[in-house]
C-alpha cells in the first residue's frame, strides 16, 4: 500500500471547475444566442465506464439506485448554485420531479441528457440574473443610510420562491459588495464600475461554456456523491492535478478550491512562497490578482478556478499581488493586499528540520529538540535508480535524531502542524524509529480484506520522552503516525483534533477501458480503501483526538473531513494484537492541570485566547449591516480591538508597541517578521513535554514507556 499518496491536497479534486466562471455578454446584440449544450458522442461511453468503476470498485460498494440518484442530484445542484442565488424553487421542484430518482437509470444507460438539461437551465438563470445585476448597477440607486442587513450564507437557506424574492436577495448582496469596496478604499475604478466590470466579465464567459464543461461538472458531482475524495479529471484538469502532485509549479504554492464563486485557500504547499512568507492562511479567500509591482488588480470573483490558477502562476522570481479576504477577520471585512514572489517548490524546503530550545526544569535548563516535518516525502525516482543517498522523511529524521541525541536533549517534540500527509510507507517507517517493533496501521479494502502495515525495522532509534504536535490540517499520513504513537502510549499528542482523512485513493487511466477513443479522456480518482488504527478505530472523519488540547481558532465542524459533504463515516474494525504502555495515561491529568495553570497565568496566552474568540465570533457571523455608518463603526472597532490585542501580545513578550502609523502584522508581514514571531503553541508543547520529563523522573524514569512496547507473539498470526 506504500505507493498510495495520501494528502490533504487531494481536496483540490472537489473543486476543479466546480463553479463556472468568466465569460460572454448577452447585453451585446452582436453576440449570438446561447446554444443548448449537448453531450458529445464520446461522453456516452465515458459516462458508462466511470459509472461502472464507481459501482464496482469504490470503497462504499454503494448500489447505483434511487438513493444514490438523490445524492447525485444534490451534489450537482450544489456544484452549480452552492449559495442558492440563481435557481428558483420552481426550478428545483421541476428537477426533483423529473430527476430525483432517475439519474441512476440514465447513467447506466449512458443517457446524459438530464445533466445537460439542468446545466442549460442553470446557464439561462445565470444570464437572466447577471443581466438584472448589470441593469441595477447601471441604473439603480443604492441607499446606504437604510438600517437593513444582508444574509451572507445561503447554502442552507430555502430556494427563492419567486423572481421578486431573488431580486431582493441580490439587491442586498450588491449593496454589501459595494459597501465592502467602499470601506476598502476602492477608488480606481470606483466601486460601481468595479462591480460592473466583474459581472460583465461573468456574462461574457457564459458563451465559452462547452460540452466538456458540463460533462466534467456532472461527472464530478456523480463521483463526489460517493465521497469527497473521488473525482473525474478531464485531460486538462489532470495535468493541473499532476502539477500539484509534482510540486513543480512556478507559483505561490497554494492548493485552491472554489466556494460560492470565490477561490478559497485549502492548503499551503510546504516550502512554497506563501508558506515561507506567512501572509496567507488556509481558509482565506483570493478575490483579486495583479501582475508585477504595478499591474492592475484583476477582480476574479466568479472566474473559473483554472483561469485564476493561470493568473497566479508565472515565471520564477516574478511578483504577483493578491487581494485576500482573511478568514480570521470574517466575511464582512475589507480585503488586504499581499505581495508574493513566485518560485519553484523544492524538496529541501519541505525536508524535516531540527532546532533545540531550552526551558527551566528543577533548577536547570532542559534541552528540548524540535523536529518539524512539513510533509511525508520520499524521492521515489532516486530510490528506483538505486541512489543510496536518496531523500526521505524517515532517513532525514533518523539523522536528525542522532544529532539531537549527541546534543543530549532531554526530550523531542515532533511538529506535524499543517502536514497534509504524503507517503504511507514513510509514516509507517517513521513510527518504527520510536518503537522496537509492531503493527502501525491497518488498511481495509472495499472487499473487507484487511492488511496490517508493520514496522519493518526492529531497531529503536529514540526511546526518550516524546510529544507530537498536530492541528486541524494534520492529515492522512500524519494521522497514522500520531495515532500509532498514541495507541502505543509512546508519547503525548498535543494540539487540535486532526483533519480526519482516513481514506486511500488511486488513479485510474480511463483510456485503458476505451481503446476506440484515440484522444485523451482523463482519469478517475477513486477511493479504494480506508485506514484504521491498530486499536481498531478509524482515523476517518473524527481524526486523532489529542491528549492535551491547545487553543484553536478553527472549528472542526468547519475545517476537516467532518465538514465535507458525502464524507465516509467513522467506524471501527477488530484491533490487532500489540503491546503498549499505559504509563502516560496515568500522568495525563497532572500534565493537563499544569498546562491549564500555566496558560491561565500567561498574558500572551490570554491574548491568544481573546484572538481565538474574536476570530470565531467573526466567522460565525452570517449577516452584515448595510447601514454605512454602522458598518464603518463596526470595522473601526474591529481594527481597534486587533491593534489592542497585538500591543498586549507584544507587551507580554517584551516587545515595543506598534507605532500609530504601523500596520498590523497580518497586513504587511515579511518572511523576516514572520520568523521573529514567537510560536506560543510550539513553546507550550515543549513545556508540556518538560512537565512529562519532570513527572517521569519523579516516578522512577521513563524507560518503561518503551521497554514493553511492541508486537506480541500472537500478532504474527494477523
- Asked if residues 154 and 169 have their Cβ atoms less than 8 Å apart, the reply is yes
What's the CA gap between 94 and 81, in Å, rounded? Answer: 16
Q: Are 203 and 26 in contact (CB under 8 A)?
A: yes
Catalytic residue among 186, 357, 501, 525: 501
Report the alpha-carbon distance of residue 656 to residue 649 in Å, rounded: 10
Whole-angstrom distance, CA of residue 59 vs CA of residue 449:
11
Query: Does the annotation mark 501 as catalytic?
Result: yes
Instruction: Examine the residue annotation and report whether 487 is marked as an active-site residue of this protein.
Output: yes
625 tagged catalytic: no
User: What 3-state DSSP class applies to 523?
Assistant: strand
CA quadruple 460, 462, 465, 468: dihedral sign: negative
Distance between CA atoms of residues 464 and 703, nearest Å: 7
Of 227, 262, 285, which is closest to residue 85 (Cα–Cα)?
262
Q: Contact at 8 Å (CB) between 436 and 460?
A: yes
User: What residues are paired with 531 via a beta bridge?
Assistant: 443
State the Rg of the chain over Cα: 27
- Measure the CA–CA gap between 616 and 420, rounded to whole angstroms: 23
Distance (Å, whole) CA 530 – CA 476: 10
Contact 536, 65 (CB under 8 A): no
Helices 66-80 & 113-139 angle (0-180, nearest 10): 30
Q: Please state the separation of Cα 281 from the chain's center in Å.
A: 10
Please identify which of the residues 476, 537, 615, 625 carries the catalytic annotation: 476
Q: Which of 227, 455, 487, 691 is catalytic?
A: 487
Q: What end-to-end distance do the CA atoms of the chain give, in Å?
A: 17
Cβ atoms 109, 52 nearer than 8 A: no
DSSP per-residue string spanning 111-166: --HHHHHHHHHHHHHHHHHHHHHHHHHHH----TTS--EEE---TTSPPBSSHHHH
16 C-beta neighbours (distance < 10 Å), count: 25
Instruction: Find the farthest-apart pair of alpha carbons in the chain and give their distance in angstroms, rounded.
Output: 86
Q: Which residues contact 315 (CB under 8 A, 6 or more apart)?
A: 250, 342
What amino acid positions are annotated as catalytic residues? 476, 487, 501
Amino acid at each position: 500500500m506504500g505507493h498510495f499518496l495520501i494528502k490533504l491536497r487531494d481536496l483540490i479534486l472537489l473543486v476543479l471547475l466546480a463553479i463556472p466562471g468568466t465569460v460572454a455578454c448577452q447585453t451585446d446584440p452582436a453576440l449570438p444566442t446561447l446554444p443548448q449544450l449537448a453531450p458529445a458522442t464520446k461522453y456516452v461511453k465515458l459516462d458508462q465506464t466511470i459509472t461502472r468503476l464507481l459501482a464496482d470498485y469504490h470503497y462504499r460498494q454503494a448500489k447505483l439506485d434511487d438513493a444514490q440518484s438523490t445524492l447525485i442530484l444534490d451534489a450537482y445542484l450544489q456544484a452549480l448554485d452552492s449559495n442558492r442565488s440563481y435557481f428558483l424553487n420552481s426550478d428545483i421542484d421541476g428537477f426533483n420531479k423529473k430527476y430525483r430518482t432517475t439519474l441512476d437509470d440514465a447513467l447506466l444507460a449512458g443517457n446524459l441528457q438530464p445533466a445537460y438539461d439542468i446545466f442549460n437551465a442553470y446557464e439561462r438563470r445565470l444570464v437572466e440574473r447577471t443581466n438584472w445585476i448589470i441593469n441595477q448597477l447601471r441604473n439603480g440607486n443604492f441607499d446606504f443610510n437604510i438600517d437593513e442587513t444582508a444574509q451572507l450564507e445561503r447554502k442552507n437557506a430555502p430556494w427563492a420562491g419567486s423572481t421578486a424574492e431573488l431580486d431582493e436577495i441580490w439587491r442586498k448582496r450588491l449593496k454589501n459588495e459595494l459597501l465592502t469596496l467602499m470601506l476598502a478604499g476602492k477608488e480606481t475604478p470606483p466601486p460601481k464600475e468595479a462591480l460592473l466590470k466583474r459581472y460583465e466579465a461573468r456574462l461574457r464567459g457564459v458563451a465559452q461554456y462547452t460540452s466538456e464543461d458540463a460533462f466534467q461538472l456532472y461527472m464530478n458531482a456523480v463521483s463526489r456523491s460517493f465521497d469527497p475524495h473521488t473525482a473525474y479529471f478531464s485531460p486538462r484538469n489532470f495535468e493541473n492535478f499532476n502539477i500539484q502532485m509534482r510540486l513543480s509549479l512556478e507559483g505561490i504554492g497554494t492548493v485552491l478550491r472554489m466556494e460560492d464563486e470565490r477561490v478559497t485557500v485549502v492548503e499551503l504547499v510546504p516550502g512554497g512562497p506563501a508558506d515561507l512568507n506567512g501572509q496567507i492562511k488556509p481558509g482565506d479567500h483570493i478575490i483579486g490578482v495583479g501582475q508585477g509591482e504595478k499591474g492592475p488588480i484583476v477582480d476574479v470573483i466568479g472566474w473559473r478556478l483554472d483561469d485564476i490558477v493561470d493568473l497566479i502562476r508565472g515565471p520564477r522570481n516574478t511578483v504577483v499581488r493578491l487581494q485576500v479576504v482573511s478568514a480570521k477577520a470574517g466575511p464582512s471585512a475589507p480585503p488586504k493586499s499581499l505581495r508574493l514572489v513566485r518560485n519553484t517548490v523544492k524538496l529541501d524546503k519541505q525536508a524535516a528540520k531540527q532546532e533545540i530550545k531550552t526551558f527551566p526544569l528543577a533548577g536547570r535548563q532542559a534541552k528540548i529538540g524540535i523536529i518539524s516535518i512539513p510533509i511525508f516525502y520520499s524521492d521515489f525516482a532516486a530510490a528506483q535508480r538505486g541512489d543510496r543517498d536518496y531523500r526521505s522523511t524517515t532517513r532525514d529524521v533518523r539523522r536528525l535524531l542522532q544529532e539531537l541525541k549527541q546534543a543530549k536533549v532531554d526530550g523531542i517534540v515532533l511538529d506535524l502542524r499543517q502536514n497534509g500527509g504524503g507517503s504511507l510507507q514513510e509514516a509507517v517507517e517513521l513510527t518504527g524509529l520510536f518503537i522496537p517493533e509492531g503493527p502501525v496501521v491497518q488498511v481495509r479494502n472495499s472487499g473487507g480484506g484487511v492488511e496490517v502495515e508493520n514496522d519493518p525495522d526492529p531497531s529503536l532509534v529514540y526511546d526518550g520522552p516524546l510529544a507530537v504536535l498536530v492541528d486541524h490540517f494534520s492529515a492522512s499520513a500524519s494521522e497514522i503516525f500520531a495515532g500509532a504513537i498514541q495507541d502505543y502510549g509512546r508519547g503525548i499528542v498535543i494540539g487540535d483534533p486532526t483533519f480526519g482523512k482516513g481514506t486511500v485513493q488511486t488513479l485510474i487511466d480511463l483510456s485503458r477501458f476505451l481503446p476506440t477513443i484515440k484522444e485523451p479522456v482523463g482519469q478517475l480518482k477513486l477511493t479504494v480503501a480506508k485506514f484504521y488504527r491498530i486499536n481498531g478505530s478509524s482515523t476517518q472523519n473524527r481524526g486523532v483526538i489529542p491528549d492535551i488540547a491547545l487553543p484553536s481558532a478553527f472549528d472542526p465542524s468547519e475545517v476537516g473531513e467532518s465538514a465535507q459533504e458525502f464524507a465516509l463515516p467513522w467506524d471501527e474494525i477488530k484491533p490487532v494484537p500489540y503491546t503498549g504502555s499505559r504509563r502516560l495515561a496515568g500522568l495525563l491529568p497532572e500534565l493537563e492541570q499544569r498546562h491549564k495553570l500555566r496558560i491561565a497565568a500567561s498574558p500572551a496566552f490570554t491574548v491568544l485566547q481573546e484572538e481565538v474568540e474574536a476570530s470565531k465570533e467573526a466567522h460565525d457571523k452570517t449577516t452584515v449591516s448595510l447601514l454605512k455608518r454602522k458598518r464603518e463603526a463596526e470595522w473601526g472597532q474591529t481594527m481597534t480591538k486587533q491593534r489592542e490585542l497585538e500591543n498586549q501580545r507584544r507587551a507580554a513578550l517584551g516587545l515595543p508597541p506598534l507605532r500609530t502609523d504601523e500596520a498590523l502584522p497580518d497586513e504587511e508581514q515579511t518572511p523576516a517578521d514572520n520568523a521573529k514571531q514567537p510560536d506560543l503553541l510550539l513553546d507550550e508543547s515543549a513545556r508540556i513535554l518538560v512537565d512529562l520529563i519532570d513527572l517521569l523522573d519523579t516516578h522512577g524514569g521513563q524507560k518503561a514507556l518503551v521497554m514493553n512496547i511492541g508486537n506480541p507473539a500472537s500478532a504474527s498470526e494477523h
